[in-house]
Amino acid sequence: MSRVRSILQSAVTLPARSARFSEFLFRRSDAAWDVFPDDPAAGTVAGPGPEVDRVWFVGERGELSLGVRTHELSIPAFFARHRAARHGRGTAWSIASCPSSSVRQLPAIVREHDEHLRACQLAVVMVGITDSLRVMPPAVWERHLRDTVEALHEALPRDARVLVGEIPPLDNAGSLSRAARLAAGTHGRALNARTRAVAADTDRTSVVGFPEELTRSVWRPEAEEHRYRDTYAVWGAHLADHA
């Protein structure tokens, strides 16, 4: 793309990008009902034997544990229970949440947990909703995600794997206006395409899409714990089935 064309395209899309970002900021500032657990962000699901697989989750709290009062109802906990039941091995899970909710911060967080990662068999990356709503350019998303995955493989044991959860279809995010939902959904799919490109270039890295059964109706997050719990149960089991 020529520089002139790029400038013109930015000028045309700037109003829509700004409007979507403004709506996101307004709605997040009005989210006083948001609930996050304050208990330890780690746990262990016992298996029949002494062997325990260690799984580390990193990402934004809004994907991992929003809306529940204990981490035992978070995606990682449901993932661990499903994995332990399926494989007949204990599963220890832990979460490193990203304060900025952006992929930009993940490489640094991975490096901070280098010692812990040396004993893990799997790392799961769950991020992207906030970056989609903030309209992060796909090239910037890909660069930071690639740095994250590379940092993970440098820290993890040689045979460990990395799993990246795709950004959910934001077309169904009922907390946004219809126009914002459609725009965010389109941008999220663009970022997911870059995620798949990163995985295709990297050994022992897989991408898992959002569960189909959770995309059939508009999802309007409300301050009702069972809605989040039920969503996390399906999402966590889906990730474990593809791990």
At residue 191, does pLDDT exceed 80? yes
**pLDDT for the residue 179:** 81
Taking residues 6-33, report their average pLDDT: 41
Terminal alpha carbon distance of the chain: 38
Amino acid symbol at 208? V
Taking residues 30-40, report their average pLDDT: 73
Give which of 5, 6, 11, 16 is closest to 180, Cα–Cα: 16
Sign of dihedral through CA atoms 97, 102, 107, 112? negative
**pLDDT for the residue 228:** 85
Taking residues 165-180, report their average pLDDT: 81
Q: What is the pLDDT of residues 109-149, one digit of tens each?
A: 999 999 999 999 999 999 999 999 889 999 999 999 999 99
pTM, entire model: 0.84
**pLDDT for the residue 113:** 98
DSSP conformation letters of 93-153: EEEEE-TT-SGGGHHHHHHHTHHHHTT-SEEEEE--HHHHHTT--HHHHHHHHHHHHHHHH
Backbone angles phi, psi at 229, to 5 degrees: -55, -45
Q: Which of 25-29, 213-217, 221-225 has the highest mean pLDDT?
A: 213-217
Please list, residue by residue across 153-183, b when 16 or more beta carbons sit within 10 angstroms of its beta carbon and e when fewer do.
bebbeeebbbbbbbbbbbbbbebbeeebbeb
At residue 18, does pLDDT exceed 60? no
Q: Is residue 111 within 8 Å of 71, Cβ to Cβ?
A: no
Say how far apart CA 41 and CA 229 lie, in whole Å.
Answer: 16
Assign 24 to helix, strand or coil: helix
**Considering the chain, what is the average pLDDT of its residues?**
85
For residue 164, what are the β-bridge partners?
A: 125, 207
At residue 159, does pLDDT exceed 50? yes
Tokens of 103: 């992929």
Q: Which of 123-132, 161-170, 206-215 has the lowest mean pLDDT?
A: 206-215
Taking residues 203-222, report their average pLDDT: 78
